[in-house]
Every structure is written in structure tokens, then in C-alpha cells.
């Protein structure tokens, strides 16, 4: 499902208006966690963005777009019009990739200064229901695939300090028990995220 491109207050926004609620696991500032979601937004903001209430800001964006019900959303300093879409069968990923001037290592020392702006946001749609455990595993799969792409592109880091992920699947049907990279769904998920991030970096 390809998102629509909208504009709110001069900023570009990717919008997924789901035809029916989907089960989601999300690390988004708005609508994070596990539950049914009716929409997803990924919105551009300026590099000088300094609001401390991103959840409120995303709710304002959703309202401006006429979105109702529960949804989830991300912000990024990347121009979301540069989104990269990749598919493997019925597994889809839409990724906006920004690493800023200073990507970060996940296990960097605590005293390392926070890097500059940079965010990799991934919105992934799966064709079959995953169990709650498999959804959590799928989030790890996305992180592994992203880190592999960064390594292959020669980026000295595993991501940025503000990367976010949403994985959505049907809420009904038999639940797949696994979401790791060697499972059928997890493997396809890893490939599409890896391909999208690598394409954006190159």
C-alpha cells in the first residue's frame, strides 16, 4: 500500500489511510506500543525542530488531515518525499533515511554527545497476522536489516538516536509465530528494509 503525500503547515507528510484497522507494533511518538491502528503518518520537520511534545504535534497533523480513530506517527528532519518503497511478495516497506552528520552506535559510551539530526523511519506492512511475540521479533529484524545496510554502505554506526519503526499486519487469521530474519515473513521483511535503506544511502 503506497502512502499518499500531503502537506500540513508547509511540511510534507506521508499518510497511510488503512482500509480497515490493522494490528500494529510501533515506536512512534504518537500511538506507540501494540494495538489496532487506522492510519500512519510520517511527517517532515525542520532541522531546527525543538518542540518537546511530538505526540501533540502529530495529533495536530492528524487532525489537519481529517484522520480519526487510533493511529501512529513519526517525525523526521528528512524530506519524506524522498521515501524509498520496496516489496518482496506481499511484504512492503516504506523508509525515510537520514543519518545526519553523526550516526550513532547502539552501544556507544554513555558520555558520548548526542548526534545531530538524523532519523530512519520504517513503515512496514505484512500480509498475515503475527503473534505479539513475532511482532516484537519483527521489530528486531528491522533493526538488524537497517544495521546491515548501514554497514554495507560504510556508515560508522547502527542507526540514529531517533529511529522509529511501525509494523502492521491483519488483526485476524492464524498467527505466524515467528518474525525473525530466517522465518518466511521475517526474511522478506529484512530484505525489503535492507534494500530500502541501502538504496537511500547510495
pLDDT digits 0-9 by tens, 37-88: 999 999 999 988 889 999 999 999 999 999 999 999 999 999 999 999 999 9
**25 lies in which domain range?**
4-109+118-201
The SS3 assignment for 141 reads helix
What's the rounded Cα separation, in Å, for the pair 127 and 131? 13
CA distances from 113 to 116, 161, 182 (A): 9, 11, 36
Per the model's pLDDT, the better-predicted residue between 103 and 188 turns out to be 188
Cα atoms found within 13 Å of the Cα of residue 70, Cβ hemisphere only: 15
Give which of 74, 68, 53, 79 is closest to 166, Cα–Cα. Answer: 74
How many independent structural domains does the chain possess? 1
Is the Cβ–Cβ distance between 51 and 57 less than 8 Å? yes
CA distance 177 to 196: 25
pLDDT tens-place string over residues 137-181: 999 999 999 999 999 999 999 999 899 999 999 999 999 999 999
Amino acid at each position: 500500500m503506497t502512502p499518499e503525500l500531503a502537506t500540513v503547515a508547509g511540511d510534507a507528510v506521508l499518510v497511510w489511510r488503512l482500509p480497515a484497522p490493522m494490528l500494529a507494533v510501533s515506536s512512534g511518538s504518537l500511538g506507540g506500543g501494540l494495538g489496532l491502528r487506522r492510519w500512519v503518518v510520517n511527517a517532515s520537520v525542520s532541522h531546527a525542530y525543538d518542540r518537546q511534545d511530538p505526540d501533540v504535534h502529530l495529533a495536530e497533523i492528524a487532525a489537519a488531515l481529517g484522520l480519526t480513530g487510533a493511529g501512529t506517527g513519526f517525525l523526521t528532519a528528512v524530506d519524506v518525499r524522498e521515501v524509498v518503497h520496496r516489496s518482496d511478495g506481499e511484504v512492503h516497506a516504506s523508509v525515510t533515511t537520514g543519518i545526519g552528520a553523526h550516526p550513532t552506535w547502539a552501544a556507544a559510551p554513555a558520555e558520548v554527545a548526542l548526534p545531530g539530526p538524523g532519523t530512519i523511519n520504517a513503515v512496514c506492512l505484512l500480509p498475515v497476522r503475527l503473534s505479539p511475540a513475532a511482532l516484537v521479533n519483527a521489530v528486531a529484524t528491522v533493526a538488524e536489516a537497517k544495521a546491515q545496510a548501514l554497514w554495507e554502505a560504510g556508515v560508522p554506526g547502527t542507526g540514529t538516536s531517533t529511529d522509529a519503526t511501525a509494523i502492521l499486519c491483519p488483526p485476524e487469521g492464524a498467527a505466524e509465530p515467528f518474525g525473525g530474519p530466517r522465518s518466511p515473513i521475517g526474511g522478506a521483511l529484512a530484505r525489503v528494509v535492507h534494500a530500502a535503506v541501502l538504496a537511500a544511502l547510495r
